[in-house]
Amino acid sequence: MTLADEIQNLQKEMIPNIPEEALAVLLQKTEEMVASRLSDQSLKTGDAAPPFSLPDGEGVIRKSETVLSDGPLIISFYRDGWCPYCNLELRALQRVWPEIRGYGASLLAIAPERPEKVQESVESKALEFPVLSDRGNRVAKEFGLVFSLDEALRPIYRAFGFDIPGDNGDQSYELPMPATYIVGSDGRIIWSFVDEDYTKRAEPEKILSILKSTNS
């Protein structure tokens, strides 16, 4: 089953339980995000990936340049641990983690949550790759991924139990567009996936195919 299949199954379960008025707003704002073409400002294949240093959930600082010295680096930006689509993606990445390592690559997942919230995701999903806390979306901004959640969506998210200010530690409601990058040892982006629609995610099998091609 592909990640897209899992997302489709999730939507079949979730959508019937969303109040009609709230669903209409969610769909409308997603359409507006897609129409904004915000991803045009993001880094693309061939661009230089900005180096960064971020803490994981235990406070250990992870430096991208150090990780890249060992081989290609996959960077997965996700919205937060409250996002069911993000959680599916993290679990899908965990399933292919042994194969990623087999290609000599590393993986860093990045979210704007506070370190303790990041650690909750690591523990609840038994993730074996590092998940980093990007407070204030500093690194996500350097990749051109950040937007402010539309005000019409904020009460809906709160009704769902999503505490974005509490989890992120600020009142900005800034989030990254879901994005996946594969960065080569030279610091250049080999492959990129960015989508304004938060329900769309990079397929792990595509990531593996890119790694395979770079190893051939």
Helix (H) or strand (E) holding 190: strand 189-194
**For the whole model, what pTM was predicted?**
0.96
Q: For the chain, what is the domain count? A: 1
Residue ranges making up the domain that contains 65 = 3-215
Which candidate, 155, 75, 154, places its Cα nearest to that of 111? 75
What is the C-alpha end-to-end distance of the chain, expressed in Å? Answer: 26
Dihedral sign from CA coordinates of 192, 169, 159, 94: positive
Q: What is the dihedral of CA 52, 147, 34, 29, to 10 degrees?
A: 150
- Per-residue pLDDT 10s for the chain (216 aa) are 899 999 999 999 999 999 999 999 999 999 999 999 999 999 999 999 999 999 999 999 999 999 999 999 999 999 999 999 999 999 999 999 999 999 999 999 999 999 999 999 999 999 999 999 999 999 999 999 999 999 999 999 999 999 999 999 999 999 999 999 999 999 999 999 999 999 999 999 999 999 999 876
User: What CATH number does residue 145 fall under?
Assistant: 3.40.30.10
